[in-house]
Amino acid sequence: MPIVNLSGVGNGKLKLTGTVLAAIYLGKITSWNDKAIKAVNPGVDLPSSRILVAHRSDASGTSWIFTRYLSAVWGEWASKVGADKSVRWPVGVAGKGNEGVAALVKQTKGRIGYVEYAYSVQSRIPWAQLKNKAPSRSLARRPVGADRGRADSPQRPAAGSVGFGVSSCPDEVLTVCSHSPGTLPFRRRHSAVACQGMATRHETHFGGTPMKISRRTRRLTLLAAAVAVLVLAAAGLAACGGSGGDSAGAAVPGSGSSAAAIEGFTPQPMQAGVILGAGASFPAPLYMKWGSDYANVADVKLNYQSIGSGGGIAAVQAKTVDFGASDAPLEESELSASGLVQFPMVVGGIVIVVNLDGVADGELKLTPDVLASIFMGTTTQWDDQSIQDLNPGVSLPATKVNVVHRSDGSGSTWIFTHYLTDAAGSVWTAGADKEVPWPVGAGGKGNEGVATTVQQVSGSIGYVEYAYAKQTGMTTTQLQNKDGGWVKPSIDSFAAAASSADWEGSLPSMYMVLVNQPGADSWPITGASFILMQKDQADAARAKATLELLKWGYTSGASPAAQLDYVPIPESVYTLVQDQVWPTITSGGAAVWP
């Protein structure tokens, strides 16, 4: 279903027709107070701000359903973009999975995206009504419940519904349909059916009689049905007509076995005017913001896939992207072996987040040893004496500590485990890397996966990039730093930790670790996020365009970086990058920069 982040606009308050939604995703409607949106929303206070679009970065059944819907309602979408699990999106920024799109929408005012219904409910993101199509004769003859509503009227999702929450279905998409709250009719259909208005609801009859079931059972069954629908759609059932892969004729350099082996990465064609990047989720909100802003000042778009630092390194090594992003810097020997250059792009902090009833943001205090003991699985209860001693007056529950960590190769994990190793090496013995053998806990993919799990599981603790924690209203902790001071995460404490970094001394690799730095105000889990590029470029123009984008990020992008709680790279450092590192990037033996 479409989800939106508009001040004062709650669940189901915004109404959209199919053609308006398609025009938004084509980039033809760009402002929330456009007359086409106002026409179907009388009385709704719509802002004059720009519409920010979010879509999936990965090949997905959700995109397959959504783009087939847009193709069905507007021929221009069908002819210019088409319908598939992965398409060339005309506008917008990309998030991985339903959780990635949901996080993008939740973080940014004025953004619209599409997710499976459960993610909207669980993330508490407002959804929009859609205007459906009059039912076909075959559907009109079918008995329906009272909640179906009048044909051609904007529809709200009924209790237990999944998908886009409207109920008339023309043809082509596999659907699950529920006609009334409290009943679960499984109506087995052998043909694939595409929903106009994106209905995916389900009802089950045994012997023609509606079966009453509990709310919990209904929700679990419907969620399982939704997952099954998306899995089948992603598999490209013959009846659904999904072709899979990229559009015919589009060249996707490096899209062979090496690209396919990169988990979560969807190879994209190298097109003029589109810069391709992939990697760390730590700076992803900023890179997506930069991409959106830069498109307004230059005829260049950024397609960035948040797949983790390990994926970003692999993608740039495979030459499937213009740049990779990693929070785990490579040492000089690794750069030389892969023919890469590396330079810092932004500084930020990894923070500890918890889900504890009655514990306020910044109230809980943890030392490095206690934190390491928790992630080692040694400290297992929140009312453990070691935690109570640090937190007199804080009401700690007598419940189990639920540890959440990253499941993917991650620069955030690299920073976090290097911190544990440096600050609590006698307790933390699981090593320091992008992936480690976690002694305990559940894994979440990306910062967004860890954040979602912590938000959903009471008594949990995890680590995420600061912007994710702040923008989603998560509860963070204080940490004791190297000088013994208690510090809360903030842009100032990150800057304090980074202030002593000797970047000139780090040349030519610019390898730098910023954890556990001295200073009374230093946040101990601070790190830089790095850009990786091929030293020998096949296309000088693409390389130059990529560097121009990154130069804009250093300068004009500094303000949005600070707004998103990252520390911009100082002028002295990015001047060093432009003077010492970028001129080593060549094409055909000639320097690409300046």
pLDDT band at 408 (very low <50, low <70, confident <90, very high): confident
Distance CA 439, CA 430 (A): 7
Question: What digits encode the pLDDT tens for the residues 582-594?
Answer: 999 999 999 999 8
Assess whether 330 and 355 both reside in one domain: no
Strand partners for 486: 480
In a domain, 256, yes or no: no
Assess whether 354 and 269 both reside in one domain: no
Distance CA 480, CA 232 (A): 49
Alpha helices in 382-465 (DSSP H): 385-390, 411-423, 446-456
- Mean pLDDT is lowest, of 23-27, 218-222, 427-431, for 218-222
Please say which residue of 442, 475, 506 terminates a domain.
506
We report the CATH number of the domain holding residue 137 as 3.40.190.10
Assess whether 317 and 358 both reside in one domain: no
Question: What digits encode the pLDDT tens for the residues 285-296?
Answer: 899 899 989 998
Distance CA 472, CA 108 (A): 10
Assess whether 317 and 362 both reside in one domain: no
Is a pLDDT exceeding 70 seen at residue 146?
A: no
Instruction: Tell me what the mean pLDDT of segment 416-437 comes to.
Output: 94
pLDDT band at 243 (very low <50, low <70, confident <90, very high): very low
Assess whether 140 and 266 both reside in one domain: no
Residues 418/513, Cβ–Cβ less than 8 Å: yes
Instruction: Tell me what the mean pLDDT of segment 68-93 comes to.
Output: 88
Please say which residue of 234, 252, 272 terminates a domain.
234
Residues 148/179, Cβ–Cβ less than 8 Å: yes
Please say which residue of 474, 506, 538 terminates a domain.
506
pLDDT of residue 254: 44
Distance CA 361, CA 488 (A): 10
In a domain, 249, yes or no: no
pLDDT of residue 264: 65
In a domain, 512, yes or no: no
pLDDT of residue 267: 74
* Per-residue buried b or exposed e for 282-294, using 16+ beta carbons within 10 Å of the residue's own CB: bbbbbbbbbbbbb
Residues 420/375, Cβ–Cβ less than 8 Å: yes
Residues 144/42, Cβ–Cβ less than 8 Å: no
- The CA distances from residue 182 to 142, 188, 206, 232, 275, in Å, are 19, 19, 14, 26, 49
pLDDT of residue 478: 97
Instruction: Tell me what the mean pLDDT of segment 245-270 comes to.
Output: 52
Residues 201/162, Cβ–Cβ less than 8 Å: yes
Assess whether 91 and 24 both reside in one domain: yes
Provide the pairing of β-strand 402-406 with 442-444.
parallel
In a domain, 523, yes or no: no
Helix (H) or strand (E) holding 333: helix 332-338
Instruction: Tell me what the mean pLDDT of segment 80-109 comes to.
Output: 84
Residues in the chain: 594
Mean pLDDT (the chain) is 79
281 versus 45: the higher-pLDDT residue is: 45
Assess whether 471 and 382 both reside in one domain: yes
Assess whether 267 and 386 both reside in one domain: no
Distance CA 65, CA 71 (A): 10
Instruction: Tell me what the mean pLDDT of segment 379-386 comes to.
Output: 96
In a domain, 519, yes or no: no
Strand partners for 479: 366, 487
Helix (H) or strand (E) holding 274: strand 274-279
Q: How many domains does the chain have?
A: 3
Both tokens of 56, joined, read 């999936």
In a domain, 251, yes or no: no
Assess whether 322 and 198 both reside in one domain: no
Distance CA 352, CA 489 (A): 9
Q: Which residue has the tokens 């690209």?
A: 259
Assess whether 447 and 302 both reside in one domain: no
Residues 348/565, Cβ–Cβ less than 8 Å: yes
Instruction: Tell me what the mean pLDDT of segment 566-573 comes to.
Output: 89
357 versus 240: the higher-pLDDT residue is: 357
Domain that holds residue 562: 261-347+528-591
Instruction: Tell me what the mean pLDDT of segment 267-286 comes to.
Output: 85
Both tokens of 300, joined, read 């260049």
In a domain, 513, yes or no: no
Assess whether 185 and 301 both reside in one domain: no
In a domain, 246, yes or no: no
Question: What digits encode the pLDDT tens for the residues 544-566?
Answer: 999 999 999 999 999 999 988 88
Both tokens of 494, joined, read 């990150």
Assess whether 149 and 177 both reside in one domain: yes
Torsion angles phi and psi, residue 75, rounded to 5: -60, -30
Q: Which of 82-86, 179-183, 184-188, 467-471 has the highest mean pLDDT?
A: 82-86
Question: What digits encode the pLDDT tens for the residues 178-233?
Answer: 333 333 222 333 333 333 333 333 332 323 333 333 444 444 444 444 444 444 44
pLDDT of residue 231: 41
21 versus 61: the higher-pLDDT residue is: 21
Instruction: Tell me what the mean pLDDT of segment 508-537 comes to.
Output: 93
Instruction: Tell me what the mean pLDDT of segment 12-29 comes to.
Output: 92
Is a pLDDT exceeding 50 seen at residue 253?
A: no
Distance CA 275, CA 272 (A): 8
3-state secondary structure of 147: helix
Residues 404/460, Cβ–Cβ less than 8 Å: yes
Distance CA 162, CA 185 (A): 14
* Per-residue buried b or exposed e for 68-104, using 16+ beta carbons within 10 Å of the residue's own CB: bbbbbbbeebbeebebbbbbbbebbbbbbbbbbbbbb
pLDDT of residue 426: 94
